[in-house]
Copies of this chain bind each other. A is one copy, B any other.
Amino acid sequence: MSTATFFHAGCPVCVSAEQGLTQAIDASRYTVEVVHLGERPEAVAVAEAAGVQSVPALVIDGTVFHINHGADLADLRA
């Protein structure tokens, strides 16, 4: 089982990506984890370490996919 982590910040672009793209992922092969950086500011460092530069972003097996552009990660730091 692989892991797909969706990092977002609750922005409209993020919600669209979650509803349109993340939900399309095959749940029989991937454990999909959704991380709201606005609610979990401590996870910003985790996203950063994974290579995330902006949200929404989907990290699948260590590879970062930046999807459209909602906000820069730098703007989400406390």
Tell me the A residues contacting B by CB distance below 8 Å.
2, 4, 16-17, 20-21, 24-30, 58, 60-61, 63-68
Contacts and interface: CB of A to CB of B under 8 A. Distances in A.
Task: Name which of A2, A28, A64, A65 has the most chain B CB atoms within 10 A of its CB.
Answer: A65
27 contacts: A2-B24, A4-B24, A16-B63, A17-B65, A20-B60, A20-B61, A20-B63, A20-B65, A21-B58, A21-B60, A21-B65, A24-B25, A24-B26, A24-B29, A24-B30, A24-B60, A25-B25, A25-B26, A26-B26, A26-B27, A26-B28, A64-B68, A65-B67, A65-B68, A66-B67, A66-B68, A67-B67
Nearest to A68: B66
